[in-house]
Amino acid sequence: MSTGINAVKRTSTVIRKMAVVTDVVEVYKQAISKQRKKFTDLLNKKLDDVRKSELARKIEVAKGFYRVEIAPPTTAEEMTKLRTDIRVLIEFMRSGCYRYLTVKQAWLLFLVGTEVTLWFFLGETIGKMHLVGYKV
């Protein structure tokens, strides 16, 4: 019979300890929820400040330029235009029309070609992050 009484005492002790733990957990939950609300309010305020900053505006403008100017050709319309331009160039070279260019037109074509070539090499240099050769 004494083992039954001891078991009841142990069970009641465990239940009391669990009640204390539950109370502590509830207190911490309330404190954490108040802190979380303060933290999220502060975070939202800082986020609004950042969104209104001059840097954020400049980044949005840069993203707009990136989407329009730097993005690779994706639509069928752009690819069709590229194919048409290549066909015109091939026909221009085959027909010998380049012989009838003026010096001004030839010089302009040479400068544009040089610019495209230099931009390519500059892009390669930036991409490999080294002036000569790749870092191995």
- Per-residue pLDDT tens over the stretch 66-125: 777 776 767 787 888 889 999 998 998 899 888 898 999 999 999 999 999 999 888 887
Confidence label for 21 from pLDDT (cuts 50, 70 and 90): low
Residue 14 lies in a domain: yes
Helix or strand run (H / E) with residue 105: helix 103-128
Contacts of 79 (CB under 8 A, 6+ apart): 73
What's the number of domains the chain is made of? 1
d(CA 87, CA 93): 10
- Per-residue pLDDT tens over the stretch 60-75: 888 887 777 776 767 7
Residue 104 lies in a domain: no
Residue 58 lies in a domain: yes
**Considering the chain, what is the average pLDDT of its residues?**
79
Residue 120 lies in a domain: no
Residue 40 confidence (pLDDT) above 60? yes
Tokens 């074509």 identify what position? 109
Residue 135 confidence (pLDDT) above 60? yes
Residue 97 lies in a domain: no
The predicted structure's pLDDT at residue 110 = 94
How many Å is the maximal CA-CA distance in the chain? 120
- Residue range 13-29: mean pLDDT, rounded: 67
d(CA 99, CA 92): 10
Residue type, 37: K
Contacts of 134 (CB under 8 A, 6+ apart): 128
Contacts of 128 (CB under 8 A, 6+ apart): 134, 135
CB-based contacts of 38-45 (< 8 A; 24+ apart in sequence) = none
The predicted structure's pLDDT at residue 73 = 66
Full domain range(s) for residue 34: 1-71
Residue 112 lies in a domain: no
Residue 106 lies in a domain: no
Residue 113 lies in a domain: no
The CA-based angle 116-87-65, given to 5 degrees, is 40
The predicted structure's pLDDT at residue 9 = 65
